[in-house]
Amino acid sequence: MESEAAFRSYLEWALEVFGIEADETECAVMSGVWSVYEPAIAELREADLSAVDPEPDADLSRAPR
């Protein structure tokens, strides 16, 4: 629940900074999307990728080789 509270705080701050008005339903949708993707994002942040070789000549417009 800590990350949900942090996201909600960030969301409210960002909406205020950019002058975007969002009702409770829109905020609930954004929070729901965050709760779906956040666990995978956290795993990616914590992953040890030091043994993974970078892709040479990466072309981000195409699938990895």
Average pLDDT over residues 25-29: 94
Is 7 domain-assigned?
yes
Is 9 domain-assigned?
yes
SS3 string, 1-65, reads CHHHHHHHHHHHHHHHHCCCCCCHHHHHHHHHHHHHHHHHHHHHHHCCCCCCCCCCCCCCCCCCC
- Whole-prediction pTM: 0.63
Q: How do residues 4-24 score in pLDDT, each as one tens digit? A: 888 889 999 999 999 999 999
Distances, alpha carbon 57 to alpha carbons 22, 40, 51, in Å: 42, 26, 18
Question: Into how many domains does the chain fold?
Answer: 1
Is 63 domain-assigned?
no
Is 61 domain-assigned?
no
